[in-house]
Amino acid sequence: MTAPPVRASDRPRVLEGPALLSGLADGPGLVAHRRRYGDLPRVALDDLLAALDRLHVRGRGGAAFPFATKLRTAAEGRRRPTVVVNLSEGEPASAKDTALALARPHLVLDGAVAVARALGAREVHLVLPCERPRAVAAVEAALAERHDRLRTVLHTADARFVAGQARAVLELMAGRANLPVTAWTPEAVAGHRGRPTLLSNAETWAQVGRLVLVGEQRYAALGTVEEPGTTLLTISGTTPRVHEVPYGTPWREVLPEEWAGRPVLLGGFHGTWVPWEDLAARTVSVAAMRAAGTPLGAGVVVCPDEPPPAYTARVVDYLAAQSARRCGPCLNGLPALAAAVHGVADGSGDAERRAAELAGLVSGRGACAHPDGTARLVRSLLALRAEVAS
Partner 1 sequence: MTARLRVDWPSCKARGLCHELLPEIVDLDEWGYPVVGGEVTPDLLADARAAVRMCPRLALRLERPPPL
Q: Which residues bind partner 1 (CB under 8 A)?
A: 179, 181-182, 184, 324, 326-330, 332-333, 361, 365-367
Minimum separation from the CB atom of position 127 to partner 1 (A): 21
Nearer to partner 1, 162 or 233 (CB): 162
Minimum separation from the CB atom of position 336 to ligand SF4 (A): 13
CB of 103 closer than 8 Å to CB of 21: yes
Cβ-based burial of 163 (10 A; exposed 0-12, middle 13-18, buried ≥19): buried
Nearer to partner 1, 23 or 329 (CB): 329
Name which of partner 1, ligand SF4, none residue 184 binds, using a CB cut-off of 5 to 8 Å depending on partner kind.
partner 1
Name which of partner 1, ligand SF4, none residue 323 binds, using a CB cut-off of 5 to 8 Å depending on partner kind.
ligand SF4
CA 178 to chain centre: 18
By CB under 6 A, name the binding residues for ligand SF4.
162, 179-180, 323-327, 330-331, 366-368, 370-371
Q: In this structure, what is the dihedral angle of CA atoms 177, 102, 15, 301, given to the nearest 10 degrees?
A: -10
Name which of ligand SF4, partner 1, none residue 332 binds, using a CB cut-off of 5 to 8 Å depending on partner kind.
partner 1
Minimum separation from the CB atom of position 265 to partner 1 (A): 27
Nearer to partner 1, 160 or 210 (CB): 160
Is the alpha carbon torsion for 163, 169, 173, 177 positive or negative? negative
Nearer to partner 1, 232 or 368 (CB): 368
- Residue 160: strand, helix, or coil: coil
CB of 92 closer than 8 Å to CB of 8: yes
- Report the side by side order of strands in the sheet with 300-302: 13-14, 241-246, 230-235, 300-302, 264-266, 272-274
Question: Which residue has the closest beta carbon to ligand SF4?
Answer: 366
Nearer to partner 1, 182 or 238 (CB): 182
CB of 51 closer than 8 Å to CB of 216: yes
Nearer to partner 1, 252 or 365 (CB): 365
Nearer to ligand SF4, 179 or 384 (CB): 179
Minimum separation from the CB atom of position 184 to partner 1 (A): 7
* Contact partners, residue 264, CB within 8 Å, separation at least 6: 255, 273, 274, 275, 276, 279, 301, 302, 303
CB of 160 closer than 8 Å to CB of 127: no
Minimum separation from the CB atom of position 166 to partner 1 (A): 15
Name which of partner 1, ligand SF4, none residue 182 binds, using a CB cut-off of 5 to 8 Å depending on partner kind.
partner 1
Minimum separation from the CB atom of position 93 to ligand SF4 (A): 18
Distance CA 316, CA 2 (A): 10
